[in-house]
């Protein structure tokens, strides 16, 4: 079986395509294991869908996720490189249908419309949090010191709200983000929907521009823009390698 490894801003994924739907949660756990498998934050299985593609998306713990921003960019590039789609196409996710445009190794995706999950901000641990859904739920806290990212706090809130937890710093017209991701159950180098949630929160609450450079923990620069209540998310994707495995 031939699989590929892709990296999108520090989020890494094992990807392959097939015509067969299946429950591959156990396979995801094995192949995403960084000691005994290939190692990845998630497994993406590409299947045909109308004039585009659909996916099965699994976190490294075998759980499914409706949406993954970085994963969607990796999926579009993989599908394009394997002649499954044209440069502009559509991807059916658990959160809905999204569009993507491939330009060399840069991919821009149009995410599903963001939703405000709590009209009032939430107070937890003497911190103000905003609650959004950008494909999956995210709590967002704005801080002046990202070094104070608290892993234990994040773990607690992740389970209390069943959401990803984000600390963000808005400064000099750009945004820096750190995210604890459910399913990975740890801080990751990047989370696309997390960056989108922080960007959306900055526009709504901090008067940020509707076009911003956003930097996850990996340090890579991504571009996010809000247009007609849609978030567009653009950045480079790396095709790491292809490998044949036995299953």
User: Do 212 and 182 share a structural domain?
Assistant: yes
Catalytic residue, from 32, 68, 198, 240: name it: 68
Number of domains within the chain: 2
Give residue for tokens 């000099």.
Answer: 172
What CATH number did the domain enclosing 100 receive? Answer: 3.10.310.10
Half-sphere exposure in the Cβ direction for 129 (13 Å, CA): 24
Q: Do residues 102 and 142 both lie within one domain?
A: no
**Residue 68 among the catalytic residues:** yes
Mean pLDDT across the stretch 94-108? 94
Q: What is the mean pLDDT of residues 185-194?
A: 94
* Claim to verify: residue 219 and residue 163 sit in the same structural domain: yes
**pLDDT score of 247 more than 80:** no
Residues 126 and 85 in one domain: no
Are 100 and 186 members of one domain? Answer: no
Residues of the chain above pLDDT 90, percent: 92
In degrees and rounded to multiples of 5, residue 139 shows phi and psi of -90, 135
Q: Is 11 annotated as a binding residue?
A: yes
246: pLDDT confidence band, cut at 50, 70 and 90? Answer: confident
Tens digit of each residue's pLDDT (9 = 90 or more) over 15-37: 999 999 999 999 999 999 999 99
Predicted confidence (pLDDT) at residue 137 exceeds the cutoff of 90: yes
Question: For position 111, what pLDDT does the model report?
Answer: 87
Q: Is residue 32 among the annotated active site residues? A: no
Examine the pLDDT at 201 and tell me if it is beyond 90. Answer: yes
**Whole-angstrom distance, CA of residue 224 vs CA of residue 232:** 6
Taking only the tens place, the pLDDT of each residue in 161-183 is 999 999 999 999 999 999 999 99
| Choice among 32, 191, 198, 240 that is catalytic | 191
Q: 121 and 69, same structural domain? A: no
Region of 246 please: left (phi>0), alpha (psi -120 to 50) or beta: beta
* 74 and 166 assigned to the same domain: no
Q: Which domain holds residue 202?
A: 115-228
Neighbours of 131 (CB within 10 A): 20
The dihedral formed by the CA atoms of 155, 160, 162 and 166, expressed in degrees to the nearest 10: -50
Determine the Cα–Cα distance for residues 24 and 61; give it in Å rounded to an integer: 11
Predicted pLDDT at 44 = 98
Residues 72 and 88 in one domain: yes
Clarify whether residues 209 and 169 are in a common domain.
Answer: yes
Structure tokens at 192: 């696309």
pLDDT at residue 114, rounded to an integer: 95
Query: Quick one: what percent of the chain has pLDDT higher than 70?
Result: 100
Kindly indicate the confidence band of residue 99, based on its pLDDT and cuts at 50, 70 and 90: very high
Chain mean pLDDT for the chain: 95
Residues 97 and 145 occupy one common structural domain: no
Task: Decide: 87 and 103 in contact? Cβ < 8 Å.
Answer: yes
Q: Tell me 170's DSSP state.
A: E
Q: Residue written as tokens 């653009």?
A: 234
193 belongs to an annotated ligand binding site: yes
Residues 144 and 221 reside in one and the same domain? yes
Q: Give residue-wise pLDDT tens across range 34-84.
A: 999 999 999 999 999 998 999 999 999 999 999 999 999 999 999 999 999
Is 166 part of any known ligand binding site? no
> In terms of domains, do 196 and 181 share one?
yes
């Amino acid at each position: 079986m031939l699989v590929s490894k892709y990296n999108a801003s520090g989020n890494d994924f094992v990807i392959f395509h097939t015509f067969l739907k299946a429950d591959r949660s156990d396979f995801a756990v094995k192949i995403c294991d960084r000691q005994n498998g290939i190692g990845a934050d998630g497994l993406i299985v590409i299947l045909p869908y109308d004039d585009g593609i659909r996916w099965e998306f699994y976190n490294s713990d075998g759980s499914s996720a409706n949406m993954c921003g970085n994963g969607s960019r990796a999926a579009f590039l993989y599908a394009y490189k394997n002649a499954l789609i044209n440069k502009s196409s559509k991807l059916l996710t658990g959160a809905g249908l999204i569009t993507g445009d491939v330009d060399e190794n840069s991919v821009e995706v149009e995410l599903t419309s963001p939703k405000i999950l709590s009209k009032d901000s939430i107070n937890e641990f003497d911190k103000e949090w905003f609650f959004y859904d950008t494909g999956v739920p995210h709590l967002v806290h704005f801080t002046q010191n990202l070094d104070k990212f608290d892993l234990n706090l994040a773990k607690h809130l992740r389970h209390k709200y069943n959401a990803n937890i984000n600390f963000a710093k808005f400064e000099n017209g750009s945004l820096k983000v750190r995210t604890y991701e459910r399913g990975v159950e740890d801080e990751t180098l990047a989370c696309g929907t997390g960056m989108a949630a922080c960007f959306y929160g900055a526009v709504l609450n901090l008067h940020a521009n509707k076009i911003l450079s956003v930097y996850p923990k990996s340090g890579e620069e991504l571009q996010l823009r809000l247009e007609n209540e849609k978030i567009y998310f653009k950045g480079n994707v790396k095709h790491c390698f292809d490998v044949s495995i036995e299953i």
